[in-house]
């Protein structure tokens, strides 16, 4: 799968770990930065290009990391077509895709350990939208808001 990844300084270390993890799994990974640790960088500058690439379908799924994952989720959801969520549990990592067609996972580099984050990301990428009528109905109501 073509997967994008991005982080600010709060998520930089975890982003580096996840990029190598995804590449080792055979995914094509597009790294939107930060490309070096910069203690004063701002999460919107890193996450917006990733979210725009998800929106344009240049990449299939996105992984965004900041310190808590909160800022990443807030800004990513401003981009039409992006369905981002902060994930801190295994159930939501797959159910968010199956029911809500989540296409961008947000993680907290200061919250979630590397191995747990890898499991969340792998679970997210393995999950597929169910396409069930009730989920499509709900999703269309969300998409209507973007018009």
DSSP 40: T
Q: Which long-range contacts (CB under 8 A, 24 or more apart) does 32-40 make?
A: 32/4, 32/5, 32/6, 33/6, 33/7, 34/6, 34/7, 34/8, 34/9, 37/9, 37/12, 37/13, 38/9, 39/9, 40/9
CB closer to ligand RB5, 10 vs 96: 10
CB closer to ligand RB5, 62 vs 67: 67
CB closer to ligand RB5, 53 vs 111: 111
Taking the complex as a whole, the smallest distance from the CB of residue 85 to ligand RB5 amounts, in Å, to: 14
Taking the complex as a whole, the smallest distance from the CB of residue 65 to ligand RB5 amounts, in Å, to: 8
Contact 60, 2 (CB under 8 A): yes
CB closer to ligand RB5, 40 vs 140: 40
Taking the complex as a whole, the smallest distance from the CB of residue 108 to ligand RB5 amounts, in Å, to: 7
Q: Which residues bind ligand RB5 (CB under 6 A)?
A: 8, 10, 43, 66-68, 70-71
Set 3, 22, 51, 66: catalytic member: 66
Q: Which two tokens stand for residue 28?
A: 């094509």
34: cis peptide before it, omega within 30°? yes
- Identify whether 106 is a catalytic site residue: no
Taking the complex as a whole, the smallest distance from the CB of residue 45 to ligand RB5 amounts, in Å, to: 12
Residues belonging to the active site: 66
């Amino acid at each position: 799968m073509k997967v994008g990844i991005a982080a600010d300084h709060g998520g930089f270390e975890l982003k580096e770990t996840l990029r190598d993890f995804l590449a080792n799994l055979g995914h094509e990974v597009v790294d939107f930065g930060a490309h070096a640790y910069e203690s004063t960088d701002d999460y919107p500058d890193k996450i917006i290009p990733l979210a725009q690439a998800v929106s344009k379908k240049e990449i299939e799924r996105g992984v965004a990391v900041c310190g808590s994952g909160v800022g990443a989720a807030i800004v990513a959801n401003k981009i039409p077509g992006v369905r981002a969520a902060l994930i801190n549990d295994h159930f939501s990592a797959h159910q968010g895709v199956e029911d809500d067609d989540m296409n961008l996972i947000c993680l907290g580099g200061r919250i979630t350990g590397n191995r747990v984050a890898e499991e969340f990301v792998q679970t997210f990428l393995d999950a597929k939208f169910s396409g069930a009528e009730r989920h499509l109905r709900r999703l269309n109501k969300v998409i209507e808001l973007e018009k």
